[in-house]
Amino acid sequence: MLGNGLEVSSIGYGAMGMSQGYGPGPDRQANIELLRAAVDRGVTFFDTAEVYGPFVNEELVGEALAPLRDRVVIATKFGFAIDEAGRQSGVDSRPEHIRVVVEASLRRLRTDRIDLLYQHRVDPNVPIEDVAGAVGELITAGKVGHFGLSEAAAATVRRAHAVQPVTALQYEYSLWFRRPEGEILPLAEELGIGFVPFSPLGRGFLTGAITRDTAFADDDMRATLPRFEAEARQANEAVVDLLRRKADDKGATPAQIALAWLHAQQPWIVPIPGTRRLSRLEENIGADQIELTADDLREIDEAAAAIDIRGARYTENAERLTNR
Among candidate residues 52, 118, 171, 173, the one labeled active-site is 52
Angstrom distance (rounded) from CA 80 to CA 93: 7
Q: Which of 128, 120, 67, 71 is nearest to 94 (CA)?
A: 128
Angstrom distance (rounded) from CA 156 to CA 81: 21
Angstrom distance (rounded) from CA 247 to CA 169: 29
Angstrom distance (rounded) from CA 102 to CA 138: 9
Active site residue 314: no
Q: CB–CB of 32/276 below 8 Å?
A: no
**H or E segment to which residue 318 belongs:** helix 316-319
Residue type, 45: F
Active-site residue set: 52
